[in-house]
Amino acid sequence: MDKMLVTVDIVLFTVEHETLKVLLVQRKFEPWKDLMVIPGGFVRLDEDLEKAAKRELFEETGVNNIYMEQLYTFGNPQRDPRGRVITVTYYSLIDSTKIKLKASTDAKNAKWFPISKVSKLGFDHNLILDYAIKRLRNKLNYTTIAFQLLPQLFTLTELQKLYEIILDRKLDKRNFRKKLLSLDILDETRESKMEGAHRPAKLYKFKKKSLVFGRDIV
């Protein structure tokens, strides 16, 4: 291959069983046959990048109609043994209970993996995954991206737990709630729910599904 080609790769995150996971597919063909990789593929001449990303994601995993953001462009000349290939990457945080995985085309299967158990991936996909994890955690700190994994109404305990899972660290309950409520991004509802043996916990909702705030939560 004596020309430069462009691919798209899509890093999908979810939280299952209190664990942050990433969606990986097993390659059918060389290079990296049988190895796990991030879903993706080549961009067609008549496609824009985001359309190509959504097509490849659907073809390899069955996932469709999700919101994704562009992450970064990776262009190391040695990143693909087939020749000069640059990749434009995307990422998203989704609710895995609302989708059904179905591998096809050049992928043997698609599966969610805990990020702590991801080993050697094909191409430079370990580098891409590390970059995406950092971006997700940073984004969590100043946007309402977490709403995608929460029910419409939720308790502050549920929200804090989600933050702790994605950030992979414990948060001080008092400080977290103080900062969160001071940002004016939540509406307190008149509803509540039981949490263990404690008194009913108030239920909240985000004021907007897509919101950026001026200072960090954690």
pLDDT band at 157 (very low <50, low <70, confident <90, very high): very high
Amino acid letter, 138: N
| Mean pLDDT, residues 38-65 taken together | 94
| Domain match, 62 and 104 both | yes
| Domain match, 166 and 136 both | no
Which of the 8 DSSP states describes residue 170?
A: -
pLDDT band at 210 (very low <50, low <70, confident <90, very high): low
Q: What's the CATH number where 163 sits?
A: 1.10.10.10
| Mean pLDDT, residues 44-66 taken together | 93
Residue 62 included in any domain: yes
Matching residue, tokens 């290079």: 31
Residue-averaged pLDDT of the chain: 91
| Domain match, 162 and 79 both | no
pLDDT band at 34 (very low <50, low <70, confident <90, very high): very high
| Domain match, 116 and 13 both | yes
Which pLDDT value is given to residue 99?
83
Q: Say if residue 1's pLDDT is above 60.
A: no
Please tell me the total count of domains within the chain. Answer: 2
Q: What percent of the chain has pLDDT over 70?
A: 95
Q: Look at residues 114, 140, 166 and tell me which one is the last residue of a structural domain.
A: 140
* Contact by Cβ (8 Å): 104, 55: no
| Mean pLDDT, residues 162-173 taken together | 96
| Domain match, 49 and 132 both | yes
Residue 211 included in any domain: no
Q: Which domain holds residue 33?
A: 5-140
Grouping H, G, I as helix, E, B as strand and the rest as coil, residue 139 is helix
Using CA atoms, how far apart are residues 206 and 16, in angstroms rounded to an integer? Answer: 22
Which residues lie below 8 Å from residue 145, measured CB to CB, with a gap of 6+?
A: 93, 136, 139
Residue 24: what are its φ and ψ, rounded to 5°?
Answer: -125, 155
pLDDT tens digits, one per residue of 69-118: 999 999 999 999 999 999 999 999 999 888 888 876 667 889 999 999 99
| Domain match, 103 and 40 both | yes
Grouping H, G, I as helix, E, B as strand and the rest as coil, residue 52 is helix
Grouping H, G, I as helix, E, B as strand and the rest as coil, residue 151 is coil
Continuous segment of H or E residues that includes residue 87: strand 85-93
Q: Which residues pair with 107 in a beta bridge?
A: 27
pLDDT tens digits, one per residue of 15-30: 999 999 999 999 988 9
Grouping H, G, I as helix, E, B as strand and the rest as coil, residue 63 is coil
pLDDT tens digits, one per residue of 118-156: 999 999 999 999 999 999 999 998 888 888 888 889 999
Using CA atoms, how far apart are residues 164 and 9, in angstroms rounded to an integer? Answer: 27
